[in-house]
Structure 1
Amino acid sequence: MSIRPVRSSEPTQNAAAGNVVLVETLRLAVPLHIAELRDRPTNVLVAIASRSASVVGSMGDVLQFHSPKRGAAAEAFNALARGLAAAAIVTHGGVTFAGSHWCTVDACSGPDADHPQPDVTPS
């Protein structure tokens, strides 16, 4: 698995990258989730990523702003880390968020690197 810092001109990437605690914690948490999820079927991973996106979409602001609801930030963070991990496993070429790139290809040097073509087996 590869984790590489990536420079981005996207404003949202730069804003998230400015949150050092979030970025550094994701750099630890996403690989742990990848290790846990790696052997799950693709349809399960897609469902995990979809659920995670729903949680982050509805609660993601608590990662930037304080929430009086106990555990809300932890729930949003875990959904983000788990969703990124699931997406990194099923997406050809991995995923990039807040200046970090996660990929299951060991030799990956970043999002623009050459990746071997996925082995697609008809069902």
Structure 2
Amino acid sequence: MGSSEVALLAKLGIRSFSYGLVVLPVCDNGSIFNQEVLNLIEDDLIDKFTADVFMVALLSLSLSYLTLAVALHIFIDAYKNVLAIAVDTEYTFIQVEGVSQRLKQINYYYYRPCCIGWCRR
């Protein structure tokens, strides 16, 4: 549209229009995404990644399938079992000494260790 057409439309009281680009979907390598992917920041990606790793660990733990995501959970559960046995039998070693002393200071009879973890009795 030229300047003369714009002047004529202004005299008639008709506002001129402009072209704008509105992004609805985004296509990349054959995959279609919403327009929100253009506004993602690094923190959003980290949050989504950690949520997915958590879901993999949860699924792996429930299926008793060993993956790298559940390795830490398996070691912590094994330590809890060894700690429960050590406190119940009063057998001590370096890694249990501090924890067993703290357990004796709190109400030991309310939270008494059992072989599969901590049980309320």
Give the TM-score range, shorter chain.
under 0.3
Considering fraction of residues, name the structure with more strand.
2
Higher normalized contact order (CA 8 Å, seq sep 6+, divided by chain length) = 1
Considering fraction of residues, name the structure with more helix.
2
